[in-house]
Chain A
Amino acid sequence: MDALDRAIINNLQGGFPICAEPYHEVASQLGTTAEELLRRLDALLESGTLSRFGPMYHAERLGGGLTLAAMQVPPEDFERVAAIVNAFPEVAHNYAREHALNMWFVLATETPERIDQVIAAIERDTGYPVHNMPKQDEFFVGLRFEA
């Protein structure tokens, strides 16, 4: 990763313009060409340095349901439960974490009502209770990852 890659990552985490030739506009600001910027973006996406390039949508405002849920799973049963949980298409992310509550996943559903149904199904299929922790407030954060 060179200075241009870092400049792209540090300056393009928001504010990408909506106009006819947005890559050209951004490239001018970065002192490069649209062709070079597109090549760099392709490479950064290909290498996994960027996971995505485009609009980030606000899931709840699309009318769907979104929540964080946690489970306490005995270590000897962890892989079985992970496979069951991951098989639900509504499970967007699932992380193992160091805590008594050791499995944490994000549910994203087409409708808000569907959240409770999926949680009930996961409890039924795994045999363990699910703690539903929907966000009650979101506080603005300004973080940009520095490359």
Chain B
Amino acid sequence: MTPRPATAMRPDYTEPLLDSIDRQIIVATQAGLPRVTHPYHAIATQLGLAAEDVMHRLRRMLETGIIRRIGAVPNHYALGYKANGMSVWDVPDERVHELGEKIGALDSVSHCYHRPRHLPAWPYNLFAMVHGRDRDEVEAKVRTIADLLGMAERGHTVLYSTRILKKTGLRLGG
């Protein structure tokens, strides 16, 4: 994993410039890279571009964070991570950045976000997705988070998914 400054993940970036060719490349690759010896050449041929241009644009999108990373996306269920708990925490708003950074740094937290409360139904403002082979493993990881937060935590719960109702990739329309 590549360490990067926390500020790089804040949503206060300026709108990046993507032209129509960038968007064609995104549409052509969002379902996956061709599994052939020269995958970027294959994309270039498909789009009528030079392979160097495709690689240059992909490198730029990687550098600017439009591409998070390039690689394998494991299905965590298939790898035995059967329990997936969305742990949600009520922490003081003025400390949410500091605490979110700490929780994100823990092993086995796959996503960590600050989100709005919806009082009275929903008092939680920090979300951390925790994966484990079973619920006991998830609970142990949640206790680690609780220990880390200490007195800063005013309440938490864990929401387990019981069923996937729909799962499709995020898609940019062609």
A55 to B163 CA separation, bound complex (whole angstroms): 27
Partner of B101, one of A49, A64, A139: A139
Contact B115 A56 (CB under 8 A): no
**Chain A proximity of B161: nearest CB distance (Å):** 4
- Report how far A110 CA is from B26 CA in the complex, Å: 14
Q: Which residues of B contact A19 (CB under 8 A)?
A: 40, 55
- Interface residue B95 (Cβ < 8 Å from any Cβ of A): no
Q: Which chain B residues border A14 with CB–CB below 8 Å?
A: 1-2, 69-71
Q: Are B70's CB and A56's CB within 8 A?
A: yes
Q: How far is the CB of A33 from chain B (nearest CB, A)?
A: 11
Closest B residue, CB atoms, query A47: B78
Contact of A72 with B121 at beta-carbon distance under 8 Å, contacts A62-B66, A137-B97, A142-B1 already known: yes
A70 to B33, CA, bound (A): 33
Q: Does A20 contact B (CB under 8 A)?
A: yes
**How extensive is the interface on chain B, given as a class?**
35 or more
C-alpha gap A21/B68 in the complex (Å): 21
Residues of B within 8 A of A13 (CB): 69, 71-74
- Given A57-B66, A93-B166, A99-B159, A8-B72 contact (CB < 8 Å): yes
In the assembled complex, A91 has its CB within 8 A of some CB on chain B:
yes
Q: A97-B162, A140-B101 are in contact. Are A135 and B26 (CB under 8 A)?
A: no
Distance (whole angstroms) from the CB of B41 to the closest CB of chain A: 7
A42 neighbours in B (Cβ, 8 Å): 35
Residue B151 CB within 8 A of the other chain: no
Task: State the majority secondary structure of interface residues on A.
Answer: mixed
Interface residues of B in 24-74 (CB under 8 A from A): 26, 29-33, 35-41, 51, 55, 58-59, 61-62, 64-74
With A23-B37, A86-B165, A143-B107 already in contact, the answer to whether A9 and B74 are too (CB < 8 A) is yes
In the complex, A124 Cα to B100 Cα: how many Å? 35
Query: Are B65 and A61 touching (Cβ within 8 A)?
Result: yes
Interface residues of A in 1-25 (CB under 8 A from B): 8-9, 12-16, 18-24
CA distance in complex: A113, B113 (Å): 21
A114 to chain B, nearest CB (A): 12
Some 25 contacts from A to B, beta carbons below 8 A apart, are A14-B71, A15-B71, A16-B71, A18-B55, A21-B38, A53-B72, A56-B71, A57-B68, A62-B26, A62-B172, A63-B15, A66-B170, A68-B115, A70-B122, A82-B165, A85-B166, A94-B165, A97-B86, A138-B10, A138-B111, A140-B6, A143-B107, A143-B110, A145-B79, A147-B74
Interchain nearest-CB distance for B93 vs A (Å): 10
Q: B51 — which chain A residues lie within 8 A by C-beta?
A: 20
